[in-house]
Amino acid sequence: MKLAQILFSQGFGTRRTCEGLVWAGLVRHQGRVLDNPAEDLPTEGLVLEVEGRSWPYHAKALVLLHKPAGYECSQKPRHHPSVMSLLPAPLRERGVQPIGRLDEDTTGLLLLTDDGALIHRLTSPKHHVPKVYEVGCKHPVDDRMLASLLAGVVLDDDPAPVRAAACVASGSHGLQLTLTEGKYHQVKRMVAAVGNRVETLHRSRFGGLALPPDLKPGHWLWADATAVQSPLPGH
């Protein structure tokens, strides 16, 4: 693929802007300054340096963000900053969007992509992609609550019971909840349905991906679509 087209596909601006980056000597490959926008480069394994930043080529972008509290999963936020503001401009330019949403006060693993087919596969109820949440509750967690969440609770917008795929206590006021659906405020509503209240909520896993322990809130990294579609360990 021609260099200018590669830069355009990665979100570095219009074709004219991408050509300008090359002509200004701001694009390197393996230490060599690339000065011809029409130069053909193989995209397999390609890593460019653009304006001093290493940038691996991805035909479709998939990134894992450690979402902090106080951010909305919307490109048009109403009350708080958008999670999009935590990403570099090329990712925003190429149109990545969250795969599902986390509430403003919920933290943890958030995936974003520009791959519409992947969004469908990971959010469709037919595929039952598990997501794991670490829940801090206002009241103590007891065996009755765990049993009810596993058996299924009825939410106010659907007569069909909603069940946790897995549910275990974590300390006196915490639980680890695994869901394969994605209803609005589902964790909070399920916990409320068993007589408790969510005080803190953190997503630790999505499919086969776990939030890296060393990834700080507000930071991101490239993710592997194959890994996220793998089952959780033990599932």
How many helices (H) does the chain have, and how many strands (E)? 7, 15
The C-alpha R_g of the chain, in whole angstroms, comes to 21
Of the candidates 140, 78, 128, the one whose C-alpha atom is nearest the C-alpha of residue 103 is 78
As a three-state string, the secondary structure of 141-166 is CCHHHHHHHHHCEEECCEEEEECCCE
Beta strands in 51-130 (DSSP E): 53-56, 62-67, 97-98, 107-113
By the 8 A CB rule, do 162 and 152 touch?
Answer: yes
Cα-to-chain-centroid distance, residue 158: 27
Q: Which alpha helices (H) appear in the chain, and where do they start and end?
A: 3-9, 15-23, 89-93, 116-123, 143-151, 186-193, 225-228
Question: Does the active-site annotation cover 103?
Answer: yes
User: Could you write out the DSSP letters of every residue in 192-212?
Assistant: HHTT--EEEEEEEEETTEE--
The one catalytic residue in 103, 114, 115, 224 is 103
By the 8 A CB rule, do 98 and 86 touch?
Answer: no
Return the active site residues.
103
